[in-house]
Amino acid sequence: MTTNAIPTDAKVSADGLAVFDRTTSRWGRLTMLMGLALSLAGPIYIVFFAGLDVGISQVLVAFLAVAATFGVLWVIEPVTYYPILGQSSMYQAFMIGNIANKLIPAALTAQTAIDAKPGTRRAELSAVSAISGAVIIHIASLLIFVGLLGTWLLSNLPPDIMQVMKTFIVPAVLGAVHVQALMHLKQPRTALIAVLVSATVVFVISPMVPGFGMYGTVLAVLSTVALAWFLRKRTTPTDAQAS
Amino acid sequence: MTYAPIAQQAVTTPGDVLAYANLPFLWLVAVGVFAVIIGQTVIYMRAVRKAAPAAEMSTGDISTSVRAGAISAIGPSLAVVVVAIAMLATLGTPGVLVRVGLIGSAKYEVGAASIAAGTAGGTFGGEGYTPEIFAIAFAAISLGGAMWLIGALVLTPLLKKGDVALSRTNPKLLSIIPAAAMLAAFFCLGFQQFVISSTHIFAYLGSAAGMALCIWLTRFTGKKWIAEWSQGIAIVAGLAVAYFITVAS
């Protein structure tokens, strides 16, 4: 193949893109597996080799509770993002995280900037380039502001501020999450069911049953999913057939 | 229930957990994850350059795309930094770098860590946040995060072939069930904070007010960067309210 081959030559173009698909799927998968192994190495070390009294069954129970709550997203999110990201970017995006709030806007901005039509190979390469640009900025800001500045902050912040950051981080995150969920309501019916079920579980059932608290979230999630499904709006005849 | 002042609730000092959360091995792992992602980016960019002519893409198009991606990532990246710093006292620096900065997100990690700590009879960050509870929560959120990667690894080749049964199922199922699970999990976890102490309620309200103000300002001014920063602003607002109540009492 000559380097100055005209790109409209279909054969050349198909070859070049086949190489791209092979490289990105092979190396994308390999690097993702490495990231996966590394992200698990930390907790494995802490649980087994740090001299703490933690049983594998405790970790398993905790994981099952997390799975019961968020497990459905492990399947839904890849399926949702695939049409936007394409094969190659999937392996980038799921390792970097912050997909919806950062990577997808970055990819769309780049595609608009070079006027690439969604669904074309040009748009796919543009998305990969944009995500790579976003990765550079993201990695740099994390290393500088969290890695270096964070380490300095941890050893210099007054203990009472540290204590407050530690004790109140959960309500300080969840207050914002609730308002966001309610203001961007796409499913008011589901939200209402979730609020009523959660309030019943936390304020009515938990105080009556000692030691129930830890299973409260799982119960609330499972009941809300069931109720939201059976009480869903059935307007069009196609929905009735589908269910 | 009794609302004990926070000074009496503080059974453990942050130092206990952080001694484990900042172990050198965890730093090594965090650096490793960064290295893998940088390596992946280099390989991908070389692949893009090679394939560009075949996709009728010029060198200028590539640099424009990289620049556009980088510039649009500045705001969100710094916003993630604020959230990450707020979580340093609970997860430690290497844990925050990997779980909040990369792979995961603050919302999911906080939710999952609270659930995990609850199954072991503790709380995430609050009373009884011992090194053991940290270990269980950290392991559970890491395993949960790993499942997202496994989901992407398993489903991407299947989706490429276009033969995933899921895409043929009822689209209502795909929109209602995840929304119901997320809403129930976050509302339940939030309400559970209400019964811990009155300061927890005020921290929650401070954060909620911060987010409401951000959303209103975004709509009022039309400036999108406010929405980007809303989570960080709200968390700082919630923590500030809790701090002033703690200091005043």
3-state SS, chain B, equals: CCCCCHHHHCCCCHHHHHHHHCCHHHHHHHHHHHHHHHHHHHHHHHHHHHHHHHHCCCHHHHHHHHHHHHHHHHHHHHHHHHHHHHCHHHHCHHHHHHHHHCCCCHHHHHHHHHHHHHHCCCCCCCCCCCHHHHHHHHHHHHHHHHHHHHHHHHHHHHHHHCCCHHHHCCHHHHHHHHHHHHHHHHHHHHHHHHCCCHHHHHHHHHHHHHHHHHHHHHHHHCCHHHHHHHHHHHHHHHHHHHHHHHHHC
- Six-digit token string for A81: 């993002």
| Statement to judge: residues A30 and A100 lie in one domain | yes
Would you say residue A67 lies in a domain? yes
- Alpha-carbon distance of A233 to B182, in angstroms, equals 19
Residues listed for chain A? 243
pLDDT digits (tens, 9 = 90+) for B163-205: 555 556 666 776 788 788 888 888 988 898 898 899 999 999 9
The pLDDT, as a whole number, for residue A240 is 41
Would you say residue A205 lies in a domain? yes
Q: For residue A101, what pLDDT band results from cuts at 50, 70 and 90?
A: confident
Q: Are B11 and B128 in contact (CB under 8 A)?
A: yes
| Statement to judge: residues A216 and A152 lie in one domain | no
List Cβ neighbours of A122 (8 Å cut-off, separation of 6 or more).
Answer: A114, A116, B55, B56, B57, B61
| Statement to judge: residues A88 and A194 lie in one domain | no
The pLDDT, as a whole number, for residue A58 is 93
- Six-digit token string for A183: 């203001």
| Statement to judge: residues A192 and A130 lie in one domain | no
Would you say residue A226 lies in a domain? yes
User: In a mutagenesis test of the B interface, which of A146, A160, A162 is the best target, namely the one with the most B β-carbons within 10 Å?
Assistant: A146
Would you say residue A141 lies in a domain? yes
Distance from CA of A155 to the nearest CA of B (A): 10
Would you say residue A1 lies in a domain? no
Quick one: residue B126, left, alpha or beta (phi over 0 = left, psi -120 to 50 = alpha)?
beta
Inter-chain touch A174–B207, beta carbons under 8 Å? yes
Residues A34, A37, A43, A45, Cα dihedral to 10°? -100
Inter-chain touch B118–A153, beta carbons under 8 Å? no
Element (H, E) at A58: helix A56-96
| Statement to judge: residues A215 and A146 lie in one domain | no
| Statement to judge: residues A147 and A37 lie in one domain | yes
- Six-digit token string for B130: 């011992």
Would you say residue A2 lies in a domain? no
Q: With CA atoms as reference, report the closest residue to A174 among B160, B200, B155.
A: B200
| Statement to judge: residues A123 and A182 lie in one domain | no
| Statement to judge: residues A214 and A152 lie in one domain | no
Give the count of alpha carbons within 13 A of A185, CB side only. 13
| Statement to judge: residues A40 and A77 lie in one domain | yes
Name chain A contacts of B119, Cβ cutoff 8 Å: 58, 61-62, 65, 214
Question: Chain A residue with minimal CA distance to B117?
Answer: A62
pLDDT digits (tens, 9 = 90+) for A109-159: 898 889 888 778 898 899 999 999 999 999 999 999 888 888 888 788 888
| Statement to judge: residues A135 and A196 lie in one domain | no
Name chain B contacts of A230, Cβ cutoff 8 Å: none
The pLDDT, as a whole number, for residue A2 is 43
User: A92: exposed, middle or buried (C-beta count within 10 Å: 0-12, 13-18, 19+)?
Assistant: buried
- Six-digit token string for B218: 């975004």
Q: How many structural domains does chain A have?
A: 2
| Statement to judge: residues A151 and A169 lie in one domain | no
The ranges of chain B with pLDDT < 50 are 1-12
Beta carbons within 10 angstroms of residue A113's beta carbon:
18
Would you say residue A5 lies in a domain? no
Name chain B contacts of A198, Cβ cutoff 8 Å: 184, 187-188, 190-191
The pLDDT, as a whole number, for residue B1 is 42
Q: By residue range, what is the domain housing residue A97?
A: 10-156
Would you say residue A69 lies in a domain? yes
Inter-chain touch B184–A221, beta carbons under 8 Å? yes
- Alpha-carbon distance of B77 to B34, in angstroms, equals 15
pLDDT at A57 over 50: yes
Give the residue with greater pLDDT, A44 vs B226: A44
> What are the backbone dihedrals phi and psi of residue A233, each rounded to the nearest 5 degrees, phi first?
-70, 120
- Alpha-carbon distance of A148 to A150, in angstroms, equals 5
Size of interface A-B (CB pairs under 8 A): 612
The pLDDT, as a whole number, for residue A235 is 63
Q: ipTM more than 0.95?
A: no
| Statement to judge: residues A129 and A204 lie in one domain | no
